[in-house]
Structure 1
Amino acid sequence: MSDLPVLNVIVAVAEGRRLYAALEAGMAAAALGRPVRIFLQGEAAALLRDPVTFSGDDARRAAGQPDLAWLAEEAIAMEIEMFVCQSGMALVGVAATELMPHVRAAGLVSFMAAIGPDDRLVVY
């Protein structure tokens, strides 16, 4: 495990472009050796329902960029931990079995409790 502080990211709004930006930032940090954890809060929990899509996917593919599903899968392959809010899942009607593989349900308190004193926290 890295000696670098963990980058903890909260996606607090159910917008695909925010998750896309959070994944890009997380992947950049992971590429530099930093451990990364991403938490989707509230309605944002619906963004990781399998299959993952968002309205900007076509424009991104047309520009030669990956779509949101590919980015999320690559983030998981890079060992970025991803969590969705249990309360948010109930709010948007998403069951744990509907999440993309390797995404875990968690509470905000447990996510925050795992943040160390030297770790970083970013909210999108």
Structure 2
Amino acid sequence: MSDMQRLNIIVASRDGARFYAALETGIAAAALGRPARLFLQGEAAALLRTPVTFAGDSAREAVGQPGLAALIAEAMAMDVDLFVCQSGVALAGMTANDLVPQVRAAGLVSFLADARADDRLLVY
């Protein structure tokens, strides 16, 4: 693991644009050598239901940006860790089989317990 401060990002709403921005932030941190982790809390868990889409995909793809599913794949390829709220999965009526592969279920307490004292925390 890098000696740089790790970036912990919590996505607290079911807003595809906010999740997209959080992913971009995590990818940018990873590109700079900073470890990054994202936690989708509560209803935001539904954003990881396969097949992944959001209303902004067409507009982004039209200007050469990746859609949300491709951005998630890019984040994972850059070792950005994705965690999803166990309660949020239940709230969305989903099971682990409905989620993007490689996403790990966790609780907010365990996500924060794994944060180091010098880590950075952002909430989207």
Classify the TM-score, shorter chain.
over 0.9
SS at match of 1:39: strand
* Unaligned 5+ runs, structure 1: none
SS at match of 2:53: coil
Post-superposition offset of 1:63: 1.5
Q: Which residue of 2 aligns with 1:117?
A: 117
Q: Distance in 2 between matches of 1:73 and 1:48?
A: 12
Q: Distance in 1 between matches of 2:3 and 2:119?
A: 11
Q: Distance in 2 between matches of 1:110 and 1:9?
A: 14
Note the aligned Cα RMSD (angstroms). Answer: 0.6
4+ runs deviating over 4 angstroms: none
**C-alpha deviations, 1:10-51, integer Å up to 9, x for none?**
000001101100000000000000011100000000101111
Q: Distance in 2 between matches of 1:79 and 1:52?
A: 19
TM-score, length-scaled by structure 2: 0.98
| Counterpart check, 1:21 vs 2:12 | no
TM-score, length-scaled by structure 1: 0.98
Q: Aligned residues: percent identity?
A: 67
Q: Which residue of 2 aligns with 1:47?
A: 47
Give the aligned length. Answer: 124
* Unaligned 5+ runs, structure 2: none
SS at match of 2:73: helix
